[in-house]
Amino acid sequence: MSVTDTPESAAQHDSETALGSAPALRSPTKVVSFVEQVLVELHHEALAARYVTDIGQEGGKTIWCRVKHTQLDVDAEYVQIRDDPRVGVGVEPCSQATVRERLCQCLDHDRSGHVDVRPLTGIQLSED
């Protein structure tokens, strides 16, 4: 399995992003506010929150989305999919609380990472 952006989503990224990246000044209050906005969007639309560790390189990606908007057969409300070129892809069922916690951790601890929210149709989940 791999997680990739479709050519259309890469070309239209700026116009299709539902929420931009988290605030540059990552105070705990701003991080929590941003993550809550992300969770509202994920709950109502077929969107994925995407976290990329090395922007512009072949770095790792993690996405969180609601299972009902995927073809995955997982018994959970949300799923976390990690795609790391070094170790491959891992799929983990999770709850909304776990998504909240992990997004906050990413934004609190990794200043080089980037989070955005985009239509799930722009992200392909494919078997390799």
Domain spans, the chain: 2-120
Q: How far apart are CA 80 and CA 36, in angstroms?
A: 17
User: 32 pLDDT exceeds 70?
Assistant: yes
Q: How far apart are CA 62 and CA 89, in angstroms?
A: 9
Q: How far apart are CA 12 and CA 79, in angstroms?
A: 25
Each residue's pLDDT tens digit, 82-94: 988 788 889 999 9
Residue count (the chain): 128
Q: What global pTM score does this model have?
A: 0.76
**Quick one: pLDDT band at residue 36, thresholds 50, 70, 90?**
very high
Query: According to the model, what pLDDT value does residue 92 have?
Result: 94
Please report, as a single letter, which amino acid is at residue 32: V
